[in-house]
Amino acid sequence: MEVFISRTEAEISSACERLAQANVLGCDTETSGLSAKYGRLYSIQFSDGDFNVLLPLSEGVAIGLFATLLADPKIVKVFHNAKFDLEFLSAAGCKVENIFDTMIAEKVLTRGANQSASLAETLYRYFAIDLDKSQRAKFTKKWDGVWTQDLVNYALSDVAHLPSLMREQTLWLEKLGLTDEFKTQIRRSLTTGDKPDGLP
């Protein structure tokens, strides 16, 4: 896994230039809490599946060109529980276009099967990947904002698998004839902020 932390203008420009060549990007954020109204956005992470980038906003780095990347309608941005990340990104002044939500896709695919749609359990079902979530507890309002290697690895471990997960889910949605249902549910979630119809 190639890891790149973008702190300087040159690093941000280089990372964005490379990521802009992708058709699909995994995206994620780390925050101080669950509410964009009261919490802080600590970082944004991106991955094309091979190249993994962390933007350490908590260290005073500006979003810069990454805002253009998020708004590019030609690139699919893959989130797990997009509504959460989009609230923080919107509060930071970022517009995000062309969104795929792997959590909603998984809920559509497993409806009635009584299975968790958490990212950890979803990735284990598809790829037998175990995610270590222990580092998440460090992202509190009292955190000093400095990114250690362990925190960087944790933050990028989620996002690195999202492009592959989207491709697998898309195949299953097509096989099961659920593509239109998924589009309806994600549209409802992103336009109204409501819980998708009939999904757990």
The CATH code belonging to domain 2-192 is: 3.30.420.10
Write down the pTM of the prediction: 0.93
Please name which of 31, 107, 27 lies closest in space to residue 71, comparing C-alpha atoms: 27
DSSP state of 137: G
- The full set of domain ranges for the chain reads 2-192
Query: φ and ψ at 54, to 5 degrees?
Result: -120, 130
Q: Are 108 and 199 in contact (CB under 8 A)?
A: yes
What percent of the chain has pLDDT above 90?
79
Q: What is the pLDDT of residue 101?
A: 98
Alpha-carbon torsion 54, 32, 64, 147, what sign? negative
Question: What confidence tier does 136 reach under pLDDT thresholds 50, 70, 90?
Answer: confident
Q: What is the pLDDT of residue 135?
A: 83
pLDDT for residue 198 is more than 80: no
Q: How far apart are CA 87 and CA 135, in angstroms?
A: 23
Q: How far apart are CA 121 and CA 135, in angstroms?
A: 17
64: left (phi over 0), alpha (psi -120 to 50) or beta: left
Q: How far apart are CA 193 and CA 86, in angstroms?
A: 10
Three-state DSSP state, 58: helix
Q: How far apart are CA 7 and CA 10, in angstroms?
A: 8
Q: What is the pLDDT of residue 96?
A: 97
Q: What is the largest CA-CA distance in the chain?
A: 49
Q: What is the pLDDT of residue 1?
A: 76
Per DSSP, helices labelled H in 47-178 are 66-71, 82-91, 102-110, 119-127, 149-159, 162-175
